[in-house]
Structure 1
């Protein structure tokens, strides 16, 4: 469920603001300028079906080496 600040939520334009009653996730993301961690609602997730490794500097903090198309968790987060 949603667990960010009300200010963060209010900053999303109302016409694109996702409902709070769905899962939200922290994702390793990138754009043309930088890498970052994004907070995304489940309705906005899109599966990466390429099977290719991910390039993000924080990846090794959370996951082991890419193996058989996936990354094993280094440790349980919650």
Structure 2
């Protein structure tokens, strides 16, 4: 029987990668790994995360660019800088209120 895990992070939360220099806003969560085998195999084996944990879709950014990232829970930490995320798609799904990102209500109409 598989152990059910609760995601540690939530939609709209700003997080940063534990190892690599990027951060982003969570816009979706998979309860376990749900990407391609090619993606999985591209990760060096010595740093490859476990599959049996939540994986997060992020509107991500680093110093050079913005992109979509797919990251395991074990590799994320909360980002407490309070700085906004500049990814252009953030405003499509979220509003920024009091330093936090909340789902835009108009996206559900």
TM-score of Structure 1 vs Structure 2, range by shorter chain: 0.7 to 0.9
Structure 1 position 62, deviation (Å): 1.2
Is 2:58 the partner of 1:27?
A: yes
**What pairs up with 1:2-13 in 2 under 5 angstroms?**
2-13=33-44
**TM norm structure 1:** 0.86
Counterpart of 1:68 in structure 2 is: 98
Unaligned runs of 5+ in 1: none
Structure 2 residue runs of 5 or longer lacking an equivalent are 1-31
Q: Please state how far the C-alpha of 1:33 moved relative to its aligned partner.
A: 2.5
| Structure 2 residue aligned with 1:53 | 84
After superposing on structure 2, the runs of 4+ consecutive aligned residues of structure 1 that deviate more than 2 Å are none
Task: Look up the SS of the partner of 1:71 in the other structure.
Answer: strand
- Matched residues, number: 75
Larger RCO (alpha carbons 8 Å, 6+ apart)? 2
Task: Provide, for residues 26-67 of structure 1, a one-character-per-residue CA deviation record: whole Å limited to 9, x for no partner.
Answer: 011112331001000000011111122221111111102x11
Structure 1 CA distance for aligned equivalents of residues 102 and 60 of structure 2: 18
Q: TM-score normalised to the size of structure 2?
A: 0.63
